[in-house]
Amino acid sequence: MLQARDIAFAYKDIRVLQSVDVQVPEGRVVCVVGPNGAGKSTLLRCIAGVHRPRRGSILIDGADPWSLSRRQLARRLAYLPQALLFRFPVSVFETVLSGRRPYFSWRPSRRDMEKVHQVLEALDLGSLAHRDMDRLSGGQRQKVLLARALVQETPYLVLDEPTAGLDLRHQLEILETVRKQAQQEKVGVLMALHDLNLAARFSHRILVLHRGGVAARGSPEETITAENIRKVYGVEAKVARENGCLHVHVIRCSRRDRRDPVETPAHCRRKP
The domain ranges of the chain are: 2-224, 225-272
Write out pLDDT tens, residues 52-61: 999 999 999 9
Which pLDDT band holds residue 248 (cuts at 50, 70, 90)?
A: very high
pLDDT for 88:
72
Mean pLDDT along residues 90-106? 92
pLDDT for 75:
95
Phi first, then psi, for residue 249 (nearest 5°) are -115, 110
Which pLDDT band holds residue 162 (cuts at 50, 70, 90)?
A: very high
Please give the Cα distance from 171 to 212 (Å, whole number).
27
Indicate the CATH number of 2-224 among 3.40.50.300, 3.30.70.1400, 3.40.50.11030, 3.30.420.40: 3.40.50.300
pLDDT at 111 over 60: yes
pLDDT for 269:
43
Q: Which residues of 47-62 are buried (b: 16+ CB within 10 A; e: fewer)?
A: bbbebebeebebebee
Which pLDDT band holds residue 263 (cuts at 50, 70, 90)?
A: very low
Mean pLDDT along residues 9-23? 93
pLDDT for 265:
44
pLDDT for 105:
81
pLDDT for 252:
87
In angstroms, what is the C-alpha Rg of the chain? Answer: 20
Which pLDDT band holds residue 255 (cuts at 50, 70, 90)?
A: low
Lowest-pLDDT choice from 89-98, 192-201, 240-249: 240-249
Q: Which residue has the higher pLDDT, 239 or 271?
A: 239
pLDDT at 258 over 50: no
Write out pLDDT tens, residues 42-76: 999 999 999 999 999 999 999 999 999 999 999 99
What angle in degrees, to the nearest 10, is found between the helix axes of 138-150 and 110-122? 140
Which pLDDT band holds residue 261 (cuts at 50, 70, 90)?
A: very low
Closest CA to 231 of 200, 263, 207: 263
What angle in degrees, to the nearest 10, is found between the helix axes of 168-185 and 138-150? 10
Please give the Cα distance from 93 to 73 (Å, whole number).
23
pLDDT for 165:
79
pLDDT for 164:
84
As a whole number, the mean pLDDT across the chain is 89
pLDDT at 262 over 90: no
pLDDT for 31:
98
Give the global pTM.
Answer: 0.88
Please give the Cα distance from 252 to 268 (Å, whole number).
8
Which pLDDT band holds residue 83 (cuts at 50, 70, 90)?
A: confident
pLDDT for 256:
55
Please give the Cα distance from 109 to 122 (Å, whole number).
20
pLDDT for 259:
44
